[in-house]
Amino acid sequence: MSRTSVIPFGPQHAAFLEPFHLKLQVEEEVVVGAEMSFGYNHRGMEYAMAQDFKRTQFLCERVCGICSFHHSSAYVQTMERLFGIEAPERAKLVRMIMMEAQRLTSHLLALGHIAETVGYENMFMQFFREREEVMTLVNRISGGRVHYSMNAIGGIRKDVTYEGLKDIGETMDRLEPRLLDLRSIVRKDRTLRKRLIGVGVLSKEAAFDWCTVGPTSRGSGLPHDIRLTGFDGYGVNGVKFRPIYYDEGDCYARTMVRMDEVIQSVDLIRQGINLMRDGPFLNAVKGNPPAADAYGRVEAPRGELMYWVRGKNEVQLDRIKLRTPALVNVPAVSAMIKGARVADVGPITVSVDPCICCTDR
């Protein structure tokens, strides 16, 4: 009979970009149990964001540096529902284009990270080279690489010019063949397939039970995507969209969902540019949020991001609650790593694209 040992994994670990702690119970090389602890990045964001609803549209971008625009889009969408107004069509399309651009940066980071975690440095550098192209593009459009600060309650703060849209289209034209090349490498590469196929399997039932969202749930065969139901910029404006999902539930399936979604984002950005028409881009709001509550959801790169806001006729909000995708995806890692080898714990954890800033808030 083998003896159970405890191995600490994190909070500082080469495989993690942010701090969280796994206490692994292992028998020889096999993980038989795990405890997770969080809170290393807790900043009290929900308290701070309730202090002034106008400042919150900037503060909410600081929850996470990788899906910052999704946070501000979810917040302004919730506030628009609370105020009973709707953003103009042009603003919705600009939000959609910028959200898909940020999905590109996030997914390319996650793909590079998984390649690096399995020791494939060259692949990591290739993903980051393409990511840099998108980072410089969003910098040219919004003036910021990480925080775009383009959203406002009722629309967008600054419009995208004709030249800007042309720039986005040309960048997508340059990027697409290179991304297709990378996808064919990920599909065929022996190293990635050997390290990721059959590793960290999360069944469809377990994915549902753990309430997982985004590529983590779509990699387990659940075709749930808020872009079909939640955000106004999709579907209603004639944007063609179908969620991408794989049934296998392993690390490779989650990686392939992201890889395919990168190509899909290029297509969605092009659709957004084609649908763009001249018109207003901001319906300004007056007064304080009413004493009512509202939900807002967007599909962030890691999955469904939900905001719930309750106003009280003051500048201060009564309560703001964020349900980030990482809050449900990261705990599901404890189900994925049972039965895995210690050497696979890094890739399994990275395969859910853990964002501890979002988890801890």
Partner 1 sequence: MSAAEIDLRKKLERMSLKSPRPRLIDVIAADRRDGTYDLIYVFHHEGAIVDHRYVVNEDDDITSIADLYAGALCMEREIIDMYGLKFNGVTGGFLLDPSSPKNPLRQPRKEVAKDV
- Which residues would be at the binding site for partner 1 (CB under 8 A)? 37-39, 42, 44, 46-47, 206, 208-212, 224, 229, 295, 297, 304, 306, 308, 310, 318-319, 321, 323, 327-328, 331-332, 335, 360-361
Distance CA 134, CA 124 (A): 16
Distance CA 360, CA 43 (A): 7
For partner 1, the closer of residues 97 and 202 by Cβ is 202
Q: For the chain, what percentages of helix, strand and coil (3-state, to nearest 5) are there?
A: 50, 15, 35
| C-alpha distances out from residue 312 to 59, 288, 307, 317, 319, Å | 20, 8, 16, 6, 9
For residue 208, give the DSSP letter: H
What is the torsion angle, in degrees rounded to the nearest 10, for the CA atoms of residue 145, residue 129, residue 18 and residue 269? 50
- Tell the smallest beta-carbon distance from residue 175 to partner 1 (Å): 33
What is the torsion angle, in degrees rounded to the nearest 10, for the CA atoms of residue 252, residue 122, residue 169 and residue 283? 70
- Tell the smallest beta-carbon distance from residue 213 to partner 1 (Å): 9
For partner 1, the closer of residues 45 and 111 by Cβ is 45
For partner 1, the closer of residues 244 and 306 by Cβ is 306
Structure tokens at 17: 């970009």
| C-alpha distances out from residue 16 to 11, 21, 175, Å | 8, 10, 28
- Tell the smallest beta-carbon distance from residue 37 to partner 1 (Å): 8
For partner 1, the closer of residues 106 and 212 by Cβ is 212
For partner 1, the closer of residues 116 and 293 by Cβ is 293
For partner 1, the closer of residues 160 and 328 by Cβ is 328
- Tell the smallest beta-carbon distance from residue 20 to partner 1 (Å): 11
For partner 1, the closer of residues 302 and 361 by Cβ is 361
Structure tokens at 148: 């775009």
For partner 1, the closer of residues 5 and 37 by Cβ is 37
In this structure, the number of other CB atoms found within 10 A of the CB of residue 285 comes to 20
DSSP per-residue letters across 105-162? HHHHHHHHHHHHHTT-HHHHHHHHHHHHHHHHHHHHHHS-SS----EETTEESSPPPH
HSE, CB side, 13 Å, CA atoms: give it for residue 99: 28
- Tell the smallest beta-carbon distance from residue 39 to partner 1 (Å): 4
Distance CA 329, CA 310 (A): 26
For partner 1, the closer of residues 229 and 274 by Cβ is 229
Contacts for 173 with CB less than 8 Å, ≥ 6 apart: none
Distance CA 289, CA 4 (A): 55
- Tell the smallest beta-carbon distance from residue 292 to partner 1 (Å): 13
- Tell the smallest beta-carbon distance from residue 209 to partner 1 (Å): 5
- Tell the smallest beta-carbon distance from residue 291 to partner 1 (Å): 12
Q: Is 237 exposed, middle or buried (0-12, 13-18, 19+ CB in 10 A)?
A: middle
